[in-house]
Amino acid sequence: MTQVRNKRAAEAWYSPYLMEIFRNISRRKLRSFLTISGIVIGVLALTTMGAIAENFNALLDGGVKYFGSNVQVGAPDGQSAALLPISKVEEIEKVDGVAAAFPSYGFAAKPGAVASVSFGVPDTIIASDPAENEWAGIKVTFAQGHQIDAGSTGQVVLGSTIDKEFNKKIGDTIDLPVRPADAKPDFINHPFQVVGILNRTLTAPDSFAYINIADGQALLKDSLPIAIRDQIDVKQITEGINVYGKPGISLSGLDQIADRINAQVTGVKATRPSVIVSSFKSGGAIFTGITTAAALLALVIGGLSVVNTMFMAVAERVREIGLKKAVGATTRHIMGEFLLEATVIGGLGGIIGYGIGAVITIIANATAPPGQSTLFLLTLRLTLFALGFAIALGAVAGILPAWRAARLDPVTALRNQ
């Protein structure tokens, strides 16, 4: 009974308290609208720019995961052709700490396509052993269909973006590489049957078309100059070798494997994965820094409008402040009320700005041309940051006006005209 009574008493106090804040905000509609608009624009900028940064970071995170899980082995520096004898795979497998090594081939899926500024990875044909997926840092999963059948040829598994671009279904055929509009007469491509479509990963595999090694070797042969094409046995060469340590091996452990490969296997160059990983991370940090700083600048400018509005509110409500002090409000009460009002303004701006930003990013992603990577990625982290920053900005912007209000002399305030 007492609890119910206390609850009623609390509600009786709480409800008008919040209502007063909202009514105060609505008392000066135009001013409140302009102030909240300042926050809205800032949060909108933070949301959209942040979503671009998050999208880019997701791409880079994929790179970090992938390149942080294996050692990339290629031709040594200075070698004119970036090709390796496939026998190097066996040599590398004998190096201490190496658990598995796979040859790999990569080709542009759309040769001759005009390079454009993009936050995605260009469409690429990857020829690799399907068993490598068990070792890779990014595990691809199937939205439809299945993995390429072992020992088969002419099968392809498409990433989500490339599949959307070419609008293929399981069982459809796709010619790879895609013939350019201005292809020379000797351009060769091959029909592949789509046997699998991958789930979205938000990173490189979305733009990949996976084929078998034998098919990759055929494409490699097609890519060689006619003069030497028949003199090289492509089954004996590879473009690169992906080397894996035991499951759960650390980045430094992989670095040590890279060092041992360089020391023990001639004619190859193993790159320390930590070097690749750090380059991905620094690229991401710079991009995130630039986009976030630009958006935060807009938001801070919006915050200044809150400061101005709250100072005006204090000036207009001097008598109210005096009255509240007369009926028992302490300095802390007055400060708290004005801070809460500023925080509500920040929160309202944050919610509206984030909402508009979210709608824009969703529409922009939904209307992105087929095959083009989406530009925005809304994450929980970004959502919490955008809303949290708007609320915190409102609160911080309210400190000085609230302090001025709280310090008003009640007698002077009560008789203010």
Partner 1 sequence: MANLQLKELTKHYKQGKTVIKALDGVTLDIGDGEFVAVVGRSGSGKTTMLDMLGLLLRPTAGKLIVDGVDTGALGDRDLAHLRGSKIGFVFQEYNLLPSLNVLENVMLPLRYVKDRTDGRKRAEDLLDRVGLSDRVRHRATELSGGQQQRVAIARSMVNQPSLILLDEPTGAVDTETAEQLISLLKSLNQQDKVTIVVVTHDLDVAKEAKRQIRLKDGKVVADEAVAPVPIA
- Interacting residues toward partner 1 by CB under 8 A: 5-6, 8-10, 12-13, 16-17, 19-20, 23-24, 27, 319-320, 322-333, 410-411, 414
For residue 97, give the amino acid letter. Answer: G
- The distance of closest approach from Cβ of residue 323 to partner 1 in the complex, given in angstroms and rounded to an integer, is 4
- Beta strands 190-198; 155-158: pairing state: parallel
Unique residue bearing structure tokens 């920053």: 389
Neighbours of 279 (CB within 10 A): 14
- The distance of closest approach from Cβ of residue 327 to partner 1 in the complex, given in angstroms and rounded to an integer, is 4
What secondary structure does DSSP assign to 229-272, as a single string? Answer: HTTS-GGGEESEEEEE-STT--HHHHHHHHHHHHHHSTT-EEEP
Facing residues of 404 across strands?
none
Q: To the nearest 10°, the Cα dihedral for 360, 363, 364, 369? A: -170
Q: What are the angstrom distances between the C-alpha of 221 and each of 89, 107, 173, 213?
A: 20, 12, 22, 12
Asked if residue 118 lies in contact with residue 171, where contact means CB atoms within 8 angstroms, the answer is: no
- 3-class secondary-structure state, position 126: strand
- The distance of closest approach from Cβ of residue 22 to partner 1 in the complex, given in angstroms and rounded to an integer, is 9
Ranges of H-type helices in 108-225: 160-166, 213-223
3-state secondary structure 365-415: HHCCCCCCCCCCCCCHHHHHHHHHHHHHHHHHHHHHHHHHHHCCCHHHHHC
For residue 370, give the amino acid letter. Answer: P
Q: To the nearest 10°, the Cα dihedral for 174, 177, 183, 184? A: -120
By C-alpha distance, which of 40, 47, 121, 64 is closest to 379? 47
- Beta strands 124-127; 100-108: pairing state: antiparallel
- The distance of closest approach from Cβ of residue 287 to partner 1 in the complex, given in angstroms and rounded to an integer, is 46
